Chains A and B, each alone.
Chain A
Amino acid sequence: MKKAVLLLSIFSFAFAQEVKKEQESAPADRSLQLRSKYDERLKALQITPTGQRSLLNLSLIVDTSFVARNKNDQEFKKLEIPGLFHRHEGNGHGHEHGALNEKRGFNLNYAELFLYAPVDPFFDLYATIPFSEGGAEVEEAYAVTRGLPFGFQFKVGKFRSSFGRLNAQHPHAWDFANQPLVYKVFLGDDGLKEKGVQLNWLAPTPFYLLFGVEVLQGENEQSFGTEGFKVDDVEVGDTRKPNLYLGFVKTSFDVGNLSVLTGLSFATGHSRVNHLGEDDPHAFAGKTKLYGFDLTAKYMIDSYRYISFQGEYLYRDQKGTEYEFHDNTLETEELKKKQGGFYTQLVFKFDRRLRAGIQYNLINKNNVKKNGVKEDLPKNLPAYYAMLEYNPTEFSRIRFQVGQNRAFFHNGERKTVNEFILQFNFAIGAHGAHPF
């Protein structure tokens, strides 16, 4: 009892102190109080942490490349990864611009307009508008809160999902010219970019610990999809909308000069794949779960040099109904896919302006069952890349990349793709620094 009273008195004392503090620092007049509060918040509009006093930060990033490949463009387009990936054309959604470094010879991958500014004291707005030769698209346009209490942050609009490590990064921040194989097969050439909302919470721990949930429309071409379709007289309806629910947790700690960042991600949603307009018409309706694990370990040698290891494992569990035509008759099959793979890479920045790196990709699980019968699919699908980079400043980059991809097949036969890419990347304007 004595203890309780003591505790209570301490609490009330502490509280009294708080109240006193409030009163002392605020002017007595209520309107003055409001004004001083508002004045201070207005300042946020004029001052960005870059020190630039401008209302809009505008930058343009241009990426262009020269590609040499042992397969011509027609052959390359026909290549598929059995059970995982094939190119599809003309079904009317997605694909305003193609994959990066798609054609032999010269490519203009993108000229990306990036806009950022505080909207008001409460929101920041970001937009990424890549222009290709074919036109422009709104790749990202989202607002982020700048003033939520208790470590919360809310994001709304169209944005790159924080699933995994690489997905939230823009292509110009990647260490290699193309995205890893597991990203290509599970998330597509554009990654998981969706309309929706994200809520994240930074835990009040002495080390970095971030939790996040996202509710997304779920229109990803490789793993999800919302639009129903009609096959002969079978009608498959739209999915629930929004369709994709996602959660992630990320944590980081330092051991001396070594920083480790690791995370787990999970996404679940319905799938609608409509490839009925193609030579080999087929469609799929079902559910997909996607799991991701990522680990980055970066050892800083000094201000300019580091060695960085990065790896991600992605696993997809897909169940549903496949609609296929055999000799012009519709066949409906129960389809189950359990597939997984990873990439690991090592990047060595050995000079202020030079970086070298290697990347190993492997899809090591490709278990597809139709009506309970296991398909005979290849499950050892590797790809290897090596790059050397020269960065005259933070705003320009010249990258040489060589690679071999042994994951592609055509008519059941493995087609090894060897390629050489010379990539140029330039940034002008006020472009913010990249996170870790």
Chain B
Amino acid sequence: MESWVVATGLILLYVIVTIVLGVLANRAMSLDLEDFLLYGRKAGFVVLYLTVVASYHSAFAFLGSGGFFYRHGIGFWEAGTWTVLTGAITYTLGVRIWALGKRFRYITPADMLADFYESEVVRVVVALVSVFFTILYIQVQAQGLGYIISVASGDRISFEVGTFFLVLVAGGYLVAGGLRAVYWTDVVQGVWMYVAVWAGALVLSFRLFGGPLELWARVRAERPDLLSLPGPEGYFTPGIWIGMTVALSFGIILQPHIMIRYYSAVSGRTIKWLGATTPIFLMTLYIPAALVGMGGAIVLPDLAVPDQVFPELLVRYAPAWLTGLILAGATAAAMSTLDSILHANMTVLTRDVYQRYIAPDREPGHYVWVGRGIVLGLLVIAYVLSVRTFGFLVTLVTLSGAGALQLLPGTLGVCYPTRRPFTKSGVLAGIGVGLTVLYLTLVTFPHALGIHGAIWSIAANFATCIIISLFTKASSEETIGRIHGAVEDYVYGSGEEGLEEALRS
């Protein structure tokens, strides 16, 4: 049997497994909106762990990281900074988001911000910013899926057809089983991607170089420029380093697919353990990615698309069955993030726009069906974007994170009580100025003075938010007292016991 048939067949086998899980999840699901959107707020540690890491790591980590190591060298190992910082943010901020979500039955990030700032404009702006910037993330996954299937099949299945098929599958099981399907498939996908990237990197290291240490020795001898900062093309300057750390930690955490995972946890303790342990998975995935990227730079120095280095190496130098299994892992990495973001955007648009402004007071089942329709619409957008525009996967994800980062002042204002809270005018003005500065420092004056656009934009956002908040009216004392009181009580008072008691009363 030809090797491309084996590799593509194993990817299809994996796809069938996810479809079966989606169908099973559908049977376990009730037509209850909280179940469809938030897993009934019952996600335990193991499921939540695997769904968070599977959602966080995507085609970006599996394919894009190899491409960045390939082109820019060891500087991309800074990825560890944002993965570890993500854990700390989950530990401190995530647990507060969880507590407020449980206490006040929030479902979307916009629910929380609109409640605190007493503003429907805040709700709509947060919803639109969330959806707009995560569409870029959807594009990354769709693009990654296309790369995988076209390389695995030796271009017998085109990038466009591969993208279409796999995006359709991810949307299909999401539409069938809601967040339950996403979580169940994420469990499989999380394990599969981790094993696959390590196995692939080690097999290639031994086959091509005799082992990882020999690989490093070859890199030192042949491409020493890859082993120092700021890298062969001077990419990793201090300003870019800090900017990527911030955009890919805070910026990803603030995207709706991660915030919704906080809401769905069964307890705050689960969130804290999640924060302490997810960096182990997230960070260590980049260890083999470095071997892939730098090994690829030695063996395949003239790749037209660096993001394809991992699948190209596998197809050329690994056994067909192993290539299929590993590329199925890559497919898992992309699909697990794709389905999560589709689900989150569906939730935001259904809850924050459709249910509130277009058709309130319908049966829960009605909204479930509308959500399914929204998923199909998003899939069309993702497909069109992925086949019409191309960019480095890492660059696209960083832009996505930098956009979502603009929600940081507003979110901190809700979750961290202060004597002088931010106001809705301050938050809205901050988002507006932040997005404008982001555009200017990415497009008009790219990374001005060597500082990443994410840093310029969030600095401008914070400054604007603070200044405007000094001169505008804050939310009512009742609202601030209710929400900040709940935070104070949960974090420094009666904890989860008090939270349960407050819910019962």
| Mutual binders A and B | no
B residues lining the A interface (CB < 8 Å): none
A residues lining the B interface (CB < 8 Å): none
